[in-house]
Chain A
Amino acid sequence: MTGFYTLFYKEWLRFWKVSVQTVLAPVLTALLYLLVFSHALRDRIEVFPGVDYATFLIPGLAMMSVLQNAFANASSSLMQSKMTGNIVFVLLPPLSHREFFLAYLLAAVARGVIVGVGVLFASIWFIQLPMAHPLWVLLFGIAGAAAMGALGIVAGIYSDKIDQLAAFTNFIILPLTFLSGVFYSIQSLPAFWQAASHLNPVFYMIDGFRYGFFGASDTSPWLSMAIVGGSFIALSWLTLVLLKSGYKLRH
């Protein structure tokens, strides 16, 4: 237990010590998106009846920040440790692959959730936000962060260099999160892109999270939760298999 707890604590300290960069900066980025998009599109779109665009945007932006930061925390921590070689400090002790997984996962969820809460808190200063089903908000926030945290561990294990991880982030994570209905309801898309969006698991994370606020969504929250939960379980299984085999960690 102490080994797991220490690794989690170390991962927590790692981002918390540089929280300007790991927490404040993403909150500010989300606020800038909010400012620019809500100003530009204010009078043009009303996605849900009675919900103006800026209000619609906030949960999506918060969830996008949760997902991106959960991914970034696990992946960059592992990749940096591998590059600098200090990964040996966690490979030499008697930590099991499950403890290793849970510690990195929990730290990723913690950073994602903290950033998400930061975005929500910062934006409700400007815009009133309803919260129809807080439990769904919490569940989707944590499950989404956990799925992306597990994916982050996989990316961190796989990447040997900064540019490999950057490619992972820029060509997979960013498109998946940007094209998940953060900035629009997929109802507004042509049929083909609507269907394509349904293949994107991140869409369900955003949609379910947003349901928690407005009580309205493109898809049933139960279906969304099933898909998000399923993604998390599949990714966790993959991560545990990789960790147990020592892939790219124990040569």
Chain B
Amino acid sequence: MTPAIEVTDVTKRYGSLQALAGVSLSVAPGEFFGLLGPNGAGKTTLISILAGLTRPSSGTARIMGHDVNGAYREARRALGVVPQELVFDPFFTVREALTIQSGYFGLRDNRAWIDEVIDNLDLSDKADTNMRALSGGMKRRVLVAQALVHKPPVIVLDEPTAGVDVELRQALWRFIRRLNHDGHTIVLTTHYLEEAEALCGRVAMLKQGRIVALDKTENLLRLHSGCYVELRLAGLLPPQLEPLVAERRDDGAIRLALPEYAEVERVMAALREGRVAVKEMEIMQPDLEEVFVQIMRKA
């Protein structure tokens, strides 16, 4: 099957800055794929290359099998991009902006779908409002709508929830999940790792223009099979547990990092032996954020 996105050995250099240092990845149709990494890791550069906004220094990128430079018309028709910056055209209303955007894609009569998108993104009240008069959250919704006017099979969202309130964020994810459910391939960059963990089936982590991890989200989580034990004790921590301490908080809580779940028993035994009473105890699974921090530290 033709991959929805196929990136092969892509590099990008801006003067002395190596934004991408050889990235290859493939996203299958229907996947919900996360692109994670700290600021400056190259996420937006990679997305810009997919969108044809940036030209790679070397390597190739394909959308649904179409080269983004050689077959740019087909590639762009297959791709919808929600840019990171909150951009808008101040001359137009929401409906005008969407009608114009679908015209650029060669769609003459797209009213029914535009209405559906407007409705699904809760923009009906604002359809005839000028873009200038919209709040930041509303502008963000319009950006999502603009990316969808031509029903692209592949949708890329570059930090769509940055600076967006909780309610909109949830509404947005419900809608995007539905699109994914209907067969659209979704690629997402976000700084909210709990979002990526909840949504993405597979994740690539970028650092300094390189992929440092690329796997199913569940595998990445399993990779770090240990757990955390957070304790509040009536006395001092037994010395043999000292090497496990990950963090001592100001309020007296101690966090121990255990390499595997079974180690909990050893902690309990040590506490019993030292006759230290436990006031509170909580066992926690690592989340994607933890995994992310560890991978970034190692890479």
Contacts and interface: CB of A to CB of B under 8 A. Distances in A.
B is bound to A: yes
Interface of A: 1-3, 5-7, 9-10, 13-14, 17-18, 81, 84-86, 88-96, 246, 250-251
A251 B77 contact: no
Contact of B52 (A1, A7, A18, A250): A250
B103 A6 contact: yes
A115 B213 CA distance: 59
Nearest to B89: A86
Interface string B39-74: 000000000100111110000000000000000111
Interface of B: 14, 48, 51-55, 72-74, 76-77, 79, 81, 83, 85, 87-92, 96-97, 100-101, 103-108, 146, 150
A62 B81 CA distance: 44
Contacts of B14: 251
A188 to B, nearest CB: 44
B267 to A, nearest CB: 53
B54 A85 contact: no
Contact of A93 (B54, B88, B97, B105): B105
6 A-B pairs with least C-beta separation? A6-B103, A93-B104, A94-B73, A85-B87, A94-B76, A2-B106
A246 B103 contact: no
B104 A6 contact: yes
Contacts of A84: 87-90
B103 A94 contact: no
B87 A13 contact: no
A3 B87 contact: no
B103 A2 contact: yes
Nearest to A1: B106
A18 B130 CA distance: 14
B91 A251 contact: no
B91 A14 contact: yes
Contacts of B91: 13-14, 17-18
B118 to A, nearest CB: 17
